[in-house]
Amino acid sequence: MLELDFIADAVEEQIIRGNLRWLANFTEIHRNYALGEIVFPIYASGSLQERGFFLSRIFSALVTPKYKVHFFLYKSPIIDSKIVRKMLLSLKSRFSEDDWVFLSLVQSQPFTRDVKDAITGIKDKNIGLAAFSLASKESVCSQNVLGKGLLKQLKLIEAKFEAFDLPSYLKSFTIVLSLGVLFLAFLALLGLVQAIQPLTLLLLVAFSIIVGHKIYKARYHTTLTLSSSEFKIQEGQKFTVGKWSDYSNVTIYITPKHETCLRLYSDKGKVDLPISRVGLSRREAYEIISSLVKGRK
């Protein structure tokens, strides 16, 4: 299933954008990493050490454990308990007891009972495993701290792409802040001079950050969900759903804001998939989506 190809791209994008920083600070990504006979589409390595401001680095160096952290993604139409045990043995022999290993499995078909038992029965506290089924939208994890943490941070029951759009958020923030400043100025003109002071301005900024984010999510935040049969676009509260079989051609379209979209043409009109806004690779997305459209004519 092509959803599995999209899943690998989605995970890579999440790592690059720092969406998994609550697990670790991943600094290096390998594609198609071979560990024995098993090939992992994604392998990322990093640590728990902070890479931010100087004081954060000092605190991290003094307090944070110096564990090496490894993240693996494995995808297949179906995964059995034998391959799960084989991966666990390979990982245990490859890394030391001081390393943390996160293993994410994604399969097209629903889980079998023996696979669930193999995952939930993991005893090693240094290996956390989370598995996802695209067909049943089900997820299961090892019952240790790492497994539960991985499941909490990573949701791979569908190929969903999204990214925080800073310009759109700043627009929402500025609108709220400007209205707030005008309101305070109006109060000052009415004689409430104390309305404009450092504390009220600070509270206004905090209020604008919170409300601006809510406006951004409601009006501008974009997500793109892809499968082998259809796509879903959500921009704020606006939803667009389409089937590949309804379209006849695909082109690369550059918007006036210099964003890249894949434009789908049909007899009823056109739809733009915002691939650059959600962090999808233009070349890979074009090739896969073109094959989906041409294969369903």
Over residues 7-43, the pLDDT tens digits come to: 888 888 888 878 788 888 888 999 999 998 899 999 9
What is the C-alpha to C-alpha distance for residues 22 and 91, in angstroms, rounded to an integer? 22
Select from 122, 115, 144, 13 the least CA-distant residue to 73: 13
How far from each other are the two terminal CA atoms of the chain, in whole angstroms?
18
Length of the chain: 297
What is the C-alpha to C-alpha distance for residues 154 and 125, in angstroms, rounded to an integer? 19
Determine the CATH number of domain 222-294.
2.30.29
- The predicted-structure confidence for 86-95, as pLDDT tens digits, reads as follows 999 999 888 8
Select from 289, 293, 285, 297 the least CA-distant residue to 12: 285
What is the C-alpha to C-alpha distance for residues 147 and 116, in angstroms, rounded to an integer? 13
- Domain ranges in the chain are 2-157, 166-212, 222-294
SS3 content of the chain, % helix, strand, coil (to 5): 40, 30, 30
- The answer to whether residue 166 scores a pLDDT higher than 90 is no
Average pLDDT over residues 47-56: 54
In this structure, the number of other CB atoms found within 10 A of the CB of residue 134 comes to 24
Q: How confident is the model at residue 65 (pLDDT cuts 50, 70, 90)?
A: low
The architecture of the domain spanning 2-157 is: 3-Layer(aba) Sandwich (3.40)
Whether the full predicted model's pTM is greater than 0.85, yes or no, is no
Contact 107, 136 (CB under 8 A): no
